[in-house]
Structure 1
Amino acid sequence: MLLVNALYFKGAWEDKFYEPATNKQDFYVSENRKVQVEMMRLTEDKSYYEDQEVQVLELGYLESQVSMMIILPKVKNGLQNVLQGMDGRKLSRLEN
């Protein structure tokens, strides 16, 4: 397991995103600032976890044991609080 907040990895998704469903939506870069970005959509059964703080989605790569885990805080700008409370036990729970 590798924990990073930014990484470049060129790989093909296990399930491709449906390009015509991509559209511009708001993305908050800070509490008061948002930008319009292209948001991809996918309707598939995926590993998903949710609790009071976060929503977690795991996306696999084609023909690989590598996957990407996306951790989305439920509170806007709540990433710092989620990361401060993160330890190996909690990360393992999110992964399973």
Structure 2
Amino acid sequence: MKHSAIAGLFIAGALLTSPVFAADKDLCAGNLQIIKDFETSQPALSENTDDNIKAAREKAEMAQKAGNDKECVAITSNVVTKIQTRNPENK
């Protein structure tokens, strides 16, 4: 009885974690799009800000290509937060 209950928990856990990976992938792609849109819509960025955003975007894109969606989300979420702090109307 204990073994079937434990097996059931593992199966339920596996089923519940699958959408999380899909969510990370979608969030990564969505955040990258927000960053790209910001870069093209803000021509008057300082060179330092522009370089920082570009470097973060490139790093996130490399993580995405490597299949590391969690790292991509971590990088892009940080940049999106800074973008929203700079331009509150972009929320």
After TM superposition, the score normalised by the length of structure 1 is 0.21
Taking structure 2 as the reference length, what is the TM-score of the superposition? 0.22
Q: Which one has the bigger strand percentage? A: 1
Structure 1 or 2: more helix by fraction: 2
Larger Rg: 2
